Structure 1
Amino acid sequence: MKNSGTGPGAITPDGSPVEFYTLLEPGRDAELVIQESPPGGSVLELGAGVGRVTHALVAAGLDVVAVDESAEMLAHVRGAETVLARLQDLRLDRRFDTVTLGSQLVNVVDGEVRRAFLGACARHVAPGGAVLVQWIPGERHDVWQAGSGRADGEVTITMAEVEEISPGVYAATMRYAHGERVWTQSFTSRRLSDEEVAADLAAVGLRLDRFLTEDRTWFAARPFTT
């Protein structure tokens, strides 16, 4: 997923409005990671942002390393080790019980970048560990429409525009509102089938294990050796 954003406050290199992300609740994403991680285990959070999920993981007793390419985002993270780096370039020479790749980053249009993200997951997950990936399932793209939205606490999130700009590639703009503050963020997303995801995982030595939520927006992958 590629982003470009406009609105008040700092904007990261990929277009994410930093202030907006500080307003979001950890929600079920944090609960899911906690459930899938061993008690007191280690977690590598790729694309940690401002620590929306990180802080809940730390509070649950997990040992978290939070990685992001935005120093502005990481400045908000507390209680975890932080690493400023591009995810696809990350080489920590360490392995973790759980590796997470959130924010639908796997739906990036460029297949080489997608496999690079997954490769970073593969080289940091411990034998017997799990890679947890958040994505936009193919069928979810089919029902996208301008004007649809939801609330996240006091934040209203609305899909302002959406268009299929080439076969399987969608361009959309989200509108975020909190009181009188408004941000917009545009992104592109590749429609991926389950088979395409499984093939990309296999290319880096991972296998699709199972979907973790009823809406299929999170799945677990594991090294082939486990």
Structure 2
Amino acid sequence: MDATREPHFTGTGPGSQTHDGCSVELYRRARYAGEIDHLRSHFLAGTSVLDLGCGTGLLAHRLLDFGCTVTGVDNSAEMLAHVSDRVRRIHADIERLDLGERFDVVLLPSGLINHADATVRRAFIAAAARHVAPHGQLILQCQDAHWLRTAALGPLSRSSELSIDVTALARATVDGIEQVRMTLRYVMGDDAWTHAFALVPLDEAEIAALLRDHGFDAPVALDDARRWFAAKPRR
């Protein structure tokens, strides 16, 4: 494994991979599928948004369509190269980010809160706390804890453009914390990629405790699946 990669993450396939195993070409080809359309009321025109881990801009570009002012942060320069120049692009690690600015909304998508390393999880939320305005909110997306605990090998998702399969799966307790290690295989046309990663299932009470420790009020679910939550800074 490349020594520059995080120990929990690897990736293979056409094009380059980021240090957390994400394939830039796969993300570049991905199409927006309505991921944040149900959150539109939180992203009114003129809202300043800090998109943490923006990748190639899948959500950032939709936020522009909403009329938001968007700052996108990613630690992959190759990912950022595919983000619109209408987005203010910041090449940096989330956990060390300190822009000295505050935003109406800090967005932490993609289940980043489920990172396998507790220190990194806390650093992500601390970065959000540094950048959210007193009147603003953190909006985060978590992984489905039940699915992480029960997922099995085999097909995960099928569409006319992309198929996803779970090709490796292991569960263990590390330092007293439940951890899931998984490899997904993505196929798009004649091309295939893999992404191996480790995550921790977090129940809502655990997410609430993490947010509380960093100065946020109790999170409020924004969808029926309870995958998206909003939390305001405690006053």
What is the aligned partner in structure 1 of residue 180 from structure 2? 170
TM-score when scaled to structure 2?
0.90
Where do residues 62-101 of structure 1 align in structure 2 (5 Å cutoff)?
A: 62-78=68-84, 79-101=86-108
The answer as to 2:194 corresponding to 1:188 is: no
- In structure 2, what residue type is equivalent to 1:178? M
Give the stretch that moved more between structures: 25-34 or 38-47. 25-34
Q: Would you say how many aligned residue pairs link Structure 1 and Structure 2?
A: 225
1:198-217 CA-partner distances (Å, limit 9, x unpaired): 11111111123311121111
User: How many angstroms apart in 2 are the aligned matches of 1:97 and 1:73?
Assistant: 24
**Is residue 135–residue 217 contact of structure 1 (8 Å, CA) maintained in 2?**
yes
User: How many angstroms apart in 2 are the aligned matches of 1:45 and 1:200?
Assistant: 20
Kindly tell me: are residues 122 and 152 of structure 1, through their superposed partners in 2, closer, same or farther at Cα, counting changes over 3 Å?
farther
User: How many angstroms apart in 2 are the aligned matches of 1:59 and 1:44?
Assistant: 15
- Post-superposition shift, 1:153? 5.7
- Post-superposition shift, 1:191? 1.5
Q: Percent identity?
A: 36
Secondary structure of 1:192's counterpart equals: coil
- Post-superposition shift, 1:27? 2.2
What is the aligned partner in structure 2 of residue 219 from structure 1? 229
User: How many angstroms apart in 2 are the aligned matches of 1:80 and 1:193?
Assistant: 33
What is the aligned partner in structure 2 of residue 157 from structure 1? 164
- Post-superposition shift, 1:74? 0.2
**Is residue 25–residue 152 contact of structure 1 (8 Å, CA) maintained in 2?**
no
1:73-108 CA-partner distances (Å, limit 9, x unpaired): 000000200000000100111111111011111111
Secondary structure of 2:9's counterpart equals: strand
**Is residue 107–residue 136 contact of structure 1 (8 Å, CA) maintained in 2?**
yes
Where do residues 119-134 of structure 1 align in structure 2 (5 Å cutoff)?
A: 119-134=126-141
1:179-223 CA-partner distances (Å, limit 9, x unpaired): 110000000011212221111111111123311121111111110
**Is residue 24–residue 153 contact of structure 1 (8 Å, CA) maintained in 2?**
no
Q: Which runs of 5+ in 2 are unaligned?
A: 1-5
TM-score when scaled to structure 1?
0.94
Q: Which runs of 5+ in 1 are unaligned?
A: none
Kindly tell me: are residues 207 and 153 of structure 1, through their superposed partners in 2, closer, same or farther at Cα, counting changes over 3 Å?
farther
User: How many angstroms apart in 2 are the aligned matches of 1:5 and 1:85?
Assistant: 21
- Post-superposition shift, 1:25? 2.1
Secondary structure of 1:19's counterpart equals: helix
- In structure 2, what residue type is equivalent to 1:64? V
What is the aligned partner in structure 2 of residue 144 from structure 1? 151
- Structure with greater contact order relative to length (CA < 8 Å, sep ≥ 6): 1
Give the stretch that moved more between structures: 34-43 or 101-110. 34-43
Secondary structure of 1:49's counterpart equals: coil
